[in-house]
Structure 1
Amino acid sequence: MLTKAIRPPGIYPPIGPYAQAIEATGTARLLFISGTMGLAPDSSLPSGFEAQAHRVWTNIGATLAAAGMDFTNLAQLTIWLARRDDWRLGAEIRQQYLGDHQVAMSVVQAGLVHPDWLIEVDAIAVA
């Protein structure tokens, strides 16, 4: 599997560590990861945005591993934040897991289904 960041001429550059588009060639598998919250394996919810965000990425990592993939297989993310003020910390935490790997991505502030959930992420991975 090969992914390539597409940087279209004539539009604004990325405003963070992501790409406007990701082209995946030679893909044999697609993995669609449902909205993932910061719930622990026992369904408890850590307190605070930082703890929930780390748990989200741990959960996504476990989902990828179960499919024989890792964070470098991610191609697209949608990140849902309950509070707009958490976007910068959320980006810092995300990059701890993604490193230099770039994805196509959207970040949205929205009311999440449960009032205690502060972040939810869905993803598409390719292999």
Structure 2
Amino acid sequence: MTQAINPITIAPPFGDYNHGIKTGPVSHLVVTSGQLGLAPDGSCADDVRAQAEQCFANISAILKDAGCGPKDVIRLSAFVTDRSYFADYMAVRDAWLDGVTVRPASTLLIVCGFTREEFKVEVEATAIFGA
């Protein structure tokens, strides 16, 4: 259903993602809101890696309720509040995508902050499935 698009006329991706994704016909589009590192009880870990893990757990729950999963994600957009959080975020993202054959397009931005000071990372996903 999806095909990686990585033209040889531009620099290759410098991480485990694709520059673009081409899809076939789909019947469902799932777009998540940005997910923060908020646990079901409303708590938020101090550690960026734990926050990123919670972001992806939240995305997994949304995708599951929609009838799909990580293999259906065609785009991830992530936001971190410090450049030093890059490696931890990427490790969590790559673990979440383990086993996914066609990696989604991906963007990571460093931002000055979120609605609450303790938030360090936010992730949103776009998924497609069904034909």
Using the size of structure 2 for normalisation, the TM-score is 0.92
Matches of 2:58 and 2:90, distance apart in 1 = 17
Letter aligned with residue 125 of structure 2: A
Matches of residues 95-114 of structure 1 in structure 2 within 5 Å?
95-101=94-100, 102-110=103-111, 111-114=113-116
2:125 equivalent in structure 1: 123
Unpaired runs of at least 5, structure 1: none
Matches of 2:18 and 2:99, distance apart in 1 = 11
Matches of residues 1-80 of structure 1 in structure 2 within 5 Å?
2-80=1-79
Could you say what secondary structure the match of 2:34 adopts?
strand
The offset of 1:100, in angstroms, is 4.5
The structure 1 segments of at least 4 consecutive aligned residues displaced by more than 3 Å after TM superposition are: none
Could you say what secondary structure the match of 1:86 adopts?
helix
Q: How many residues align?
A: 126
Could you say what secondary structure the match of 1:121 adopts?
strand
Unpaired runs of at least 5, structure 2: none
Could you say what secondary structure the match of 1:34 adopts?
coil
Q: % of aligned pairs identical?
A: 30
Matches of 1:66 and 1:108, distance apart in 2 = 28
The offset of 1:109, in angstroms, is 0.3
